């Protein structure tokens, strides 16, 4: 319902003059919710004042102004929204934000129901985004008026999460999980080799006493924080574009700021997510035909016997390079083994 109100009203600019209630909306919504909070918390004032200015400047559609659980009723013919006394021609993101604000307050009074309140908002947000006309989540969060009201691409990122896991040597490493708006999920653990090259991208470690200085919680925090904020709402259909965004976000030559273990984990997880969305194997997604050219995958090496010097042993390990026939669907055949290490 909310998406229909916003979407249909956006196509009727004449409503802007009928609901030019800027002064009322400011007095009963923006001032008490945002500016009063800014006065109470000076450290948050710049961000809140900037949010007020952005909200006032993005006049896109008819805003209900009081979307909260108490004002949503289920009638015999569907949902009914009550208390639209502050209806306003403005930023539709306010309606979703106010509802979330009410649910967060309810979490404070009833902490045991926090998960259910969160699920309720997720259901509201997802139904809004999938209704066919609505701001993309990234546009809503950033108040981007240029986004307008466009159909939601289901292969855009809904959430990004990172966690610490352990590799085959028992050392901490980063796992990322990317979920798309269509519900598809991709998960990937970043590889962490024992040997390092002089030109290898930087693997961010915590350098604390935990796990011998090898902990990766800083990299995990980057995945959950800055990387997630930058990628939510981003399409994953073009892997090169996504990777370029991660490179630009880090801004350093060797990925020393966010850590290559953070950016690479997210990149791989996003590739798995879109492959799941397309219901194809990962290799097929990465090797699709584009501009009449077939992308080639790097030939794999398969360890036949691990160990050798990296594991403190002198015995030789054998690494097998599969012979790939012309058909990408045929099973690989192993070439004569080559020695390594």
Name the helix (H) or strand (E) containing 231. Answer: helix 228-231
Provide mean pLDDT across the span 304-311: 55
Rounded to 10 deg, the angle between the 93-109 and 114-129 helix axes is 170
Q: What is the pLDDT of residues 183-219, one digit of tens each?
A: 899 999 998 766 777 788 999 999 888 888 899 999 9
Q: Does the pLDDT at position 231 exceed 60? A: yes
| Percent of the chain surpassing pLDDT 70 | 76
Cα angle vertex 42, ends 37, 46, to 5°? Answer: 85
The percentage of the chain sitting over the pLDDT mark of 90, rounded to a whole number, equals 32
Average pLDDT over residues 122-129: 74
Quote the crossing angle between the two packed helices 2-10 and 93-109, to the nearest 10°.
Answer: 160
Angle between helix axes 239-250 and 260-278 (nearest 10 degrees) is 160
Strand partners, 177: 161, 187
d(CA 81, CA 76): 13
> Strand pairing partners for 322?
334
Nearest to 138 by CA among 109, 181, 108, 102: 181
Q: What pLDDT was estimated at residue 283?
A: 83
Task: Specify whether the CB–CB gap between 174 and 216 falls below 8 A.
Answer: yes
CA 318 to mean position of chain CA atoms? 40
Q: Within 10 A of 78 (CB to CB), how many other CB atoms are there?
A: 8
pTM beyond 0.75, yes or no: no
Burial 17-44 (b: 16+ CB within 10 A, else e): eebebeeebbeebbeeebbeebeeeeee
The rounded mean pLDDT for the chain is 79
With cut-offs at 50, 70 and 90, classify the pLDDT of residue 152: very low
């Amino acid at each position: 319902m909310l998406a229909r109100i916003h979407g249909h009203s956006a196509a009727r600019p004449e409503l802007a003059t009928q609901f030019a209630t800027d002064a009322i909306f400011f007095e009963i919504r923006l001032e008490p919710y945002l500016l009063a909070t800014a006065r109470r918390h000076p450290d948050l004032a710049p961000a809140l004042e900037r949010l007020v200015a952005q909200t006032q400047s993005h006049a896109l559609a008819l805003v209900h102004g009081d979307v909260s659980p108490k004002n949503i009723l289920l009638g015999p013919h569907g949902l009914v929204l009550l208390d639209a006394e502050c209806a306003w021609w403005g930023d539709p993101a306010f309606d979703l934000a106010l509802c979330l604000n009410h649910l967060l307050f309810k979490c404070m009074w009833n902490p045991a129901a926090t998960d259910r309140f969160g699920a309720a908002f997720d259901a509201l947000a997802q139904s809004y985004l999938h209704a066919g006309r609505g701001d993309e989540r990234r546009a809503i969060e950033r108040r981007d008026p240029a986004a307008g009201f466009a159909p939601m691409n289901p292969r855009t990122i809904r959430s990004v999460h990172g966690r610490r896991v352990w590799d085959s040597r028992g050392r901490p490493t980063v796992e990322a999980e990317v979920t798309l708006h269509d519900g598809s999920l991709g998960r990937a653990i970043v590889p962490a080799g024992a040997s390092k090259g002089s030109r290898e991208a930087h693997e961010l470690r915590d350098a604390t006493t935990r796990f011998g200085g090898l902990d990766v919680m800083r990299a995990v925090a980057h995945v959950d924080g800055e990387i997630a904020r930058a990628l939510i709402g981003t399409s994953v259909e073009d892997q090169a574009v996504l990777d370029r965004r991660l490179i630009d976000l880090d801004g350093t030559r060797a990925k020393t700021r966010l850590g290559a273990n953070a950016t690479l984990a997210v990149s791989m997880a996003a590739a798995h997510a879109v492959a799941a969305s397309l219901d194809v194997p990962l290799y097929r997604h990465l090797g699709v035909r584009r501009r009449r050219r077939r992308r080639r995958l790097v030939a794999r090496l398969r360890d036949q016997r691990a160990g050798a010097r990296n594991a403190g042993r002198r015995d030789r390990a054998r690494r097998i390079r599969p012979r790939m026939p012309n058909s990408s669907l045929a099973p690989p055949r192993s070439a004569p083994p080559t020695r390594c290490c």
